Amino acid sequence: MLLPLRETYEELVRDFVWDIPQDFNIGRAVSDAWAARAPDRVCLEHFSPDGAHGSLTYQQLADRSSRFAAALASLGVTRGSRVAILLPQGFETVIAHVAAYKIGAVALPLALLFGADAIEYRLNDSGAAAVVTNRFGFSKLQDIGGALPALKHVIMTGDAGEGALSLERLIADHAPLEAQAATGPDDPALMIYTSGTTGPPKGALHAHRVLPGHMPGIQFAHPDLGQAGDKMWTPADWAWAGGLLNCLLPALLLGVPVVSSPGQKFDPDMAFRIMAEMGVRNAFIPPTALRLLRPVDNPLSRYDLKLRTIGSAGESLGRETYEWARTHLGITVNEFYGQTECNFVLSASARHGVTKSGSMGKPVPGHRVAIIDEAGNILPPGVAGQVAVLRPDPVMFLGYWNNEAATRKKFIGDWMTTGDQGVMDEDGYFEFFGRDDDVITSSGYRIGPGEIEDCLLGHPAVRLAAAVGKPDPVRTEIVKAFVVLKDGYSATAELAVQIRDWVKHRLSMHEYPREIEFLDALPMTTTGKIIRRELRARA
């Protein structure tokens, strides 16, 4: 499941072979396996703003997770039960995940940023039997009231509230689980709900194979990950596929310490401080977060950064941010692509000669990706169509939870469709064009928002931007841009004209935004993706 040692992309593709063990359990692989070899090896570090940073070893993770697994079993949580994990980045989050895997349960990560309605929907839809949370999450559960008939146990970190069990007490009161569940690569392990950018969230159910399936991509985007001194961090919530599968679990599998940090509104200076103070060498930083880092002047001189690799995914990185990172961080960001249902299937790797500004890379060794038409035919280079992944594939989901119709609709033959429009060039690079719903049709042209947004970000006044189609009786749609300004700039009609002309002169006459609206913030999912359907409704 690991990449072979080869110098070129072509050699990697030629020589890669999947080798996933038939006896595989995510929990044991990221804790017990390392505890047996190097019990005192640090697996987790926690950043504290006051400097009182914490650490956890693989032996401690293995022991505490096995004790909590025994506690869950004693509460009637069995193989296949859904265990919701409503926690921020932290040691307890990993312990809860590993414990669930060890008993054959299905971990259900949930973001604390969710409101009560979003949490209620996911808990009810999944039929979660238990939830592990903190005081903040507990308060949201109280807002839901008695509308969760399947939920039997609420387990809290810290002081347990009324009606809740103490996580620390459960761990202390139980001996390590003696008989861990025997699981194979196709047994259910993890369920992550889609972001809900194009409709109600759906639970994408993944098997234990999803972790080994991610390893070629991780090693491609972060070459030689696992060498002495490597340390991983992401500002992304571990409750979504990016934070969990693009960072946390693969790093633990490779023996790379992972830094956790308190949940907060993203602060660029704090992000640089975390990376510098904790000695982070490898980071997964989504494009929106990278863009928010840009206003920090001279980061290399202001912070003692030790960064070696940066991977980025979640939405299009864009040329402006790609070039900024090369100039101001001295690193070529390796952009990659995937989605909740089938993650990390395309990637760049500057080390292996695969990098191109504005591109999300080439198929990761072991994955078969193409641009297809509505009938499932592979389209030639230069022709836009839908990005699709061929099954079987280890990172591909088992299906949507209790939604066979939506699962069937996701496929055209053996091609899993992504709903993302893209194009592959003559050299095999894939470029993101836009979601099916995001593509703008204006005067007969099909326009992807990504290029417009990237151009907008090049304007000195623009901090964040999003482009959508607005219905128009003459052109079908016109391009409308929503812009968040940098500090020191005022939203004026004159500035709107300047920004509009900036795009007109740099792209084309049919792509520039005919309307610009200034906002204080853009609507985003908890994963940092722009919710364009809300902007379309506003347009």
Which of these ranges, 41-55, 68-82, 260-274, 411-425, has the smallest mean pLDDT?
260-274
| pLDDT score of 444 | 54
Tell me which of 504 and 460 has the higher pLDDT. 460
Closest by alpha carbon to 30, among 19, 44, 45? 44
CA distance 132 to 165: 9
Q: Which helix (H) or strand (E) holds 141?
A: helix 135-144
pLDDT in tens, 267-313: 999 999 999 999 999 999 988 889 889 989 999 999 999 999 999 99
Name the token pair of 425.
Answer: 């060039």
Which domains are assigned to the chain?
23-41+54-208 (3.40.50.12780), 437-538 (3.30.300.30)
Name the token pair of 256.
Answer: 């790379």
Q: How many CB atoms lie within 10 A of CB 276?
A: 16
pLDDT at residue 147 above 90? no
Bridge partners, 447 (sequence order): 440
CA distance 241 to 421: 21
Vertex 234: Cα angle to 229 and 239 (nearest 5): 130
CA distance 255 to 218: 13
CA distance 510 to 503: 10
Cβ atoms 483, 458 nearer than 8 A: no
pLDDT at residue 530 above 60? yes
What integer is the mean pLDDT of 248-274? 94
Burial of 369 (0-12, 13-18, 19+ CB in 10 A): buried
**Residue 32: DSSP 8-state:** I
Closest by alpha carbon to 403, among 193, 244, 197? 193
Name the token pair of 426.
Answer: 């003559």
| pLDDT score of 292 | 86
| pLDDT score of 187 | 98
Bridge partners, 469 (sequence order): 479
CA distance 77 to 183: 16
CA distance 188 to 233: 27
Which of these ranges, 37-41, 246-250, 456-460, has the smallest mean pLDDT?
456-460
Distance separating the N- and C-terminal Cα atoms of the chain: 47
- Give percent of the chain above pLDDT 70: 95
pLDDT in tens, 330-382: 999 999 999 999 999 999 999 999 999 889 999 999 999 999 999 999 999 99
CA distance 347 to 284: 13
pLDDT at residue 197 above 70? no
| pLDDT score of 509 | 66
Q: How many CB atoms lie within 10 A of CB 289?
A: 19
Q: How many CB atoms lie within 10 A of CB 371?
A: 23
| pLDDT score of 199 | 54
CA distance 469 to 448: 10
Cβ atoms 255, 381 nearer than 8 A: no
One-letter amino acid identity for 179?
A: A
CA dihedral sign of residues 350, 352, 355, 360: negative
Bridge partners, 530 (sequence order): 524
CA distance 166 to 154: 9
SS3 label, residue 327? helix
Bridge partners, 106 (sequence order): 82
CA distance 402 to 106: 14
pLDDT in tens, 432-488: 876 666 768 676 555 768 778 888 998 999 999 999 989 887 677 889 999 999 999
Q: What confidence category does residue 27 fall into, taking pLDDT thresholds of 50, 70 and 90?
A: very high
| pLDDT score of 437 | 67
What integer is the mean pLDDT of 209-235? 97
Cβ atoms 287, 466 nearer than 8 A: no
For tokens 């992401």, name the residue: 234
Please list, in sequence order, all residues whose beta carbon lies within 8 angstroms of the beta carbon of residue 162, skipping any fewer than 6 positions away.
Answer: none
pTM to 2 decimals? 0.85
CA dihedral sign of residues 177, 205, 243, 537: negative
Q: What confidence category does residue 407 fall into, taking pLDDT thresholds of 50, 70 and 90?
A: very high
Name the token pair of 480.
Answer: 């409308």
CA distance 305 to 296: 14
**Which spans in 381-492 are helix H?**
404-409, 449-457
Name the token pair of 69.
Answer: 């697994």
Closest by alpha carbon to 283, among 308, 265, 261? 308
What integer is the mean pLDDT of 223-242? 95
SS3 label, residue 418? strand
CA distance 427 to 379: 14
Cβ atoms 452, 467 nearer than 8 A: yes
Q: What is the dihedral of CA 211, 213, 214, 217, to 10 degrees?
A: 160
CA distance 102 to 167: 17
What integer is the mean pLDDT of 249-258? 98
The two beta strands, 385-390 and 369-372, are antiparallel
Tell me which of 446 and 41 has the higher pLDDT. 41
